[in-house]
Structure 1
């Protein structure tokens, strides 16, 4: 369970996140949806202990991230796939992390196979396409066999086949009892994979609810979102 309660982040005179609250239950995918600058990434970074909130709380299983023992075995995160060391191979990248988590080195090849990168195991990260780096980032997030996934714009750089693969992986993870929180500016992609959506604009939550319920209303999910964001159109992405 992810529980975000009245989370706020101020940078001097700028309020990046303003009183954000939502929950993500086990067995579900929750989409944090909004245009660029809505506060999605800052919210995820506070959840993961990378940014200290001005006020409010964010917990996983009732515990702040920085107090979880072996957090990578509980929460798998991908915030920026381009941050992986460009000089290491895909296999080396995962084996380094496996060693830090006290996992057998063989889990690296298992993770690469799971994301369809077995054939790129010896390729250096710096030579990967954006879509392949996204897949490697997902492999990195899954390495510790976590029960929670937190992903920032996970479909960036993926072609339509990659998007379908990503949706299948996330649905499979949730079906096994996992909790998924992903951010995206792609309305269609969130609608295709998420059980619930939390819409943000200018640092605030402007609406939330079950995707199936919102999509069944007049005008569907798009009209619901546009009505709450003052005409801020968010692109599609479902394929």
Structure 2
């Protein structure tokens, strides 16, 4: 599609289908307005994530708009739970500000355009704040849990919450005929499962590296070989690396680190 503020923007086919559904549902000029406002609102929401991520040192390869709204594609993880919360909260914060501004202007001017803009953004913010991975609320929940427990365990618990939410979607959808929730449920279940597998894969990838007191693993190039020595691949004066069998990913001094447990 192009670039916005330096970020490549891609439109997934599922997002086009979603916009087509909205257009067919509302029809006419109203449908066109809703499609355009939805597109712009989702893009601004994701730009909020991307800009804060870039500011905090997370590389963002682009923004993808899909059936579920969109995603800022981050190439490396935030350095701490605090950073993850800031990045996850940035999108809903943008949507809430746009929602408040839209409804405020509508109240002053009586223009329905701004009221529509406001409600669309409030819906986007509210939906994304549901505490179910991989939505923003789920990421905030996992980051908050990671203050007190291992990152993988925090992910497992957040995924459990996401599955409860998914079951709730199905029950509500069937009870009240909200078929969008029923359709959304299996995708949310699969994506939350993917988050759990990703966390475990990350832990497995770093399982062979351990130092007393922990090694930062979520920072940029944490395990890049700066020198050719097999004794010190980190180039930071560490003693030889040892293979560890038990480990935990948690915070230490504001950084996500991997700690040997044996």
Check whether TM > 0.5.
Answer: no
TM bin, normalised by shorter chain, reads under 0.3
Considering Cα pairs closer than 8 Å and 6+ residues apart, tell me whether 1 or 2 has the greater RCO: 1
Compare CA radii of gyration and give the structure with the larger one. 2
TM-score in terms of structure 2 length: 0.26
Given the two structures, how large is their TM-score scaled by the length of structure 1? Answer: 0.27
Which structure is higher in strand share?
1
